[in-house]
Amino acid sequence: MYKSNQFNPMLSEYLDLFTLCQSETAQKLGIHNMPHDADVIDNLRQLCLNVLNPVITHFDLPLFVTSGYRCPQLNAEVGGLVNSQHLLGQAADIMMGGIRNDQLAKWIIENTDFDEVILEKFDPDSHEYGWVHVSYTKGKNRNRVTTFDGKTFHDGFHYFDLSKIS
């Protein structure tokens, strides 16, 4: 467990604010990607407590957050949706060492209260493993399951041959 400080508070037992806000794109472009809104920080905390911490506890493996909170400028730079839950601190794109992303997504669906799980760009036949997008909203979770092939969102879980999608 990390020690909290005033500049990088712990959001949960395992995750701090910087982990949910770090971005290689933001760093490369000089974008300050830290939330100033207390509601956004609380949303990140709720995502950690209700979804991400249970995943870490269950699998006892490192969790990699590839995209958490995104300020509007960063969201635009990475091509995020204009209504992305990342803007509100309600979503994170994650991977976990040692677990396939379809297995990670399935565990989240079966064991947590979530708003949306999207298995993105996953095709184990072509060694494309993508990531899992997961979101959480206080008191109004839809428990929506979606798959994204890189072009289209599909309801439910689907496996695609991504080499045939252009």
Q: What is the pLDDT of residue 109?
A: 96
**Record: fold of 17-161:** Muramoyl-pentapeptide Carboxypeptidase; domain 2 (3.30.1380)
Distance CA 127, CA 125 (A): 6
Q: Does the pLDDT at position 3 exceed 60?
A: no
| 8 Å CB contact between 50 and 89 | no
Range with lowest mean pLDDT among 17-21, 67-71, 85-89, 156-160: 156-160
Question: 54: helix, coil or strand?
Answer: helix
Kindly list the domain boundaries of the chain, sorted by start residue: 17-161
Q: For 155-164, what is each residue's pLDDT tens digit? A: 998 776 666 6
